[in-house]
Structure 1
Amino acid sequence: MRTNRNVLIVNLALSNLMLALTNIPFLWLPSIDFEFLYSRFFCKFANALPGSNIYCSTLTISVMAIDRYYTVKKMYASSHRRQCLRAVCISILIWIISFLLSFPLLVYYDTTMLYVFKDVTVFSSGNATKLSSYGWRQCRLAPTQRKGMEDPNEAAKRESDAQKVQLFMSVMQALFLYVVPLIVLLIFNAKLTRFLQENSRQMHRSLSDGRSDDAGTLCIVKSSDLGQTAAVRNLPARRMNVRKRNRTTALLIAMAASYAVLWLPFTVVSMLLDLRILYMEGNGAAVIERIDQSCKMISIMSICVNPFLYGFLNTNFRHEFTDIFNQWICYKLRTPTNVQQEYSTIASPRRQSSSHSPQVSTSNRFLHLLQNPYVRRSSAPCSSFIRTSIARLT
């Protein structure tokens, strides 16, 4: 499990978990309650933290696509410890870049007042008058306002600056959350698919050339008959290779397609809202609010899809996870505490024995090992050796 791929999978799972814990409660607060009743720090925190988690998730997916391609193509010969250290450093760098990209959210988001009536003269008892304002407190993107600034021209300029900052952040969000990761996924998944297809053709070509050379040396049968016999004999292996290659290609296409489909509505609607193209008043504003919420829910569905695409649909990760689960959880749950299991030295380097337990014959011990469901799947040579030993004993 200590590989660079699994380190990146853990980093993706951590970012998705934090995104689920922070994005769902925080970003829906303005929709549930029109007035933002919380502090200024909470306003900045509720926007910057989910933003950094989203950036971390998308950047990790991009790095995983690049790492997958170069790992398969070049087959690094470095040790697992060095690969894990490199993956940990890359994960830390991803988090640093994510915080830097979400830093404008921390700076420019603030609590502001949406006034319905501002500086209205109110008559109180005793013919006394006072100025009052009525409105709601909101958490929105707003540049810093200087104290005592009441000039309408300055207020309009500040609102224009806020729109420019919002547009800049929207463009940056569209680039780093959708365009760049999607381009990386498409390019490196296509290159990996092409490399696997070319490698498969070269392997089949080398195997056929080797068989033809052997046929010319032996001169037992005709080369055409030998080629037909070899092709028929190798047909199941070729079908298995084709199925594996098609499954890998389908998985790579699913990774890119799921990202493109799930994040496209959120990116498009956010851009239209920031450009004020999708802008309505009255009842139309409520419809736009529901559309925005629906697009956010669709993008959050990537949290549910990523564990299957990058985890359990990965054959190596699934087998390693199943082995660890069977070895450390199922075995401890099913094994009685008062019974001491005995293992063969073939399957385990350690041998546990008890002076009080009866001596078990070698054949029964081998049969017990064959029937043990917790033997690792990677012990196929050990299983054949055990069957041969039982045949000799019986």
Structure 2
Amino acid sequence: MTRILPGIFAAALALSASAVQAEDKPPLKIGGILDMSSLYADITGPGSETAAKMAAEDFGGEVLGRKIQVLAADHLNKADLSANIARDMLDNQGVEMIYDVAASATALAAGEIAKARNKIIMFNGPGSIRLTNEACGPYTVHYVFDTYGQANVTGLAAVKSGLDTWFFLTADYAFGQDLEKDTSAVVTKTGGKVLGGVRHPLNTSDFSSFLLQAQASKAKVIGLANAGGDTVNAIKQAAEFGITKGGQKVSPLLAFVTDIDSIGLETAQGLLLAEAFYWDLNDDTRAFSKRFTERMKRPPTSAQAGVYSSVTHYLKAVKAAGTTDAAAVIKVMKETPINDFFAKGGKIREDGRMIHDMYLFEVKKPSESKGRWDDYKLLATVPGSEAFQSLEQSRCPLVKK
């Protein structure tokens, strides 16, 4: 008996040592750079952080024996601050992957930092097509929507229905400029005309002078190349000015369900908009949205749903690759189709664009809605291959022509 005890003791020591070793493994950190307090906070912000945490929890809370730790920071819609946060996360905090980034100027800034350090960055909230064109990188993924897809789905439908003259109200930064440019191209290619446009400062409260110029243009459509609080304020003030009653159509080129809720169906009814996701689309979207709503007291936006999907896809790739090395992980991510509540048959291309279906919705009349958040009627499902820019058109240096 005394001869057996040392063997048992040694085995116990070995088990104890392996347990300690597992506990000593550093956490796998993923970092969100978000708008937590300004005009895009409802679109991304705390909801994106919650979605990332839900993805980590549903994955089991750890991968490769490492606890998954979700970080988040507020970039205050400042590109230089976004770059500094990205630098600190990657250089000092041990972050392996950055998610969301919330706005285009801030995303372009953070993207350059991640690119220089060969780290994966996944964009969910920003829309600029530059992220998969000139600013693309080998570890950059643009997951939810972009200005080309939004323009292609909304602009094309509008012109085909006879809304063929346009005037643009454009947020004066990368996203707004790209959205106007891409929508203008769709309008003119489809036989419509652009009668003019005006640039407005980001996060402005008074659209009166810009709307008067749009009204004077007599354009059938006033295209809003902006997002978040700017879109909400522009639509509300257009209604106050009687612009929509006067026969002109206001078209938000990027709007989220949170925006429509803020505006109200009385004012927003009839708006055409393109979305990558809607909470009430099918049983899968409803099941996820129910869980999200229990935490956030409202359904997810497409950006927030995209955060959950993209973080899950990343964690699956880490597990499959057996490492957090960016080159090995991104290879698995690009080889593996995405099939979940957000996308069916989704695929990340060589330029970093995640290809998935897009949807054209019309905002319901108050009489058609069954209650709060029941806002959209599905008009069309547009395959990703038709919605997004083709590889032949890409200006990404990584794309082999």
Normalising by structure 1, what TM-score?
0.20
Structure with greater proportional strand content: 2
Look at both structures and tell me which one has the larger radius of gyration over its CA atoms.
1
* Structure with the larger RCO, 1 or 2 (CA within 8 Å, 6+ apart): 2
TM-score by length of 2: 0.19
Query: Larger % of helix: which?
Result: 1
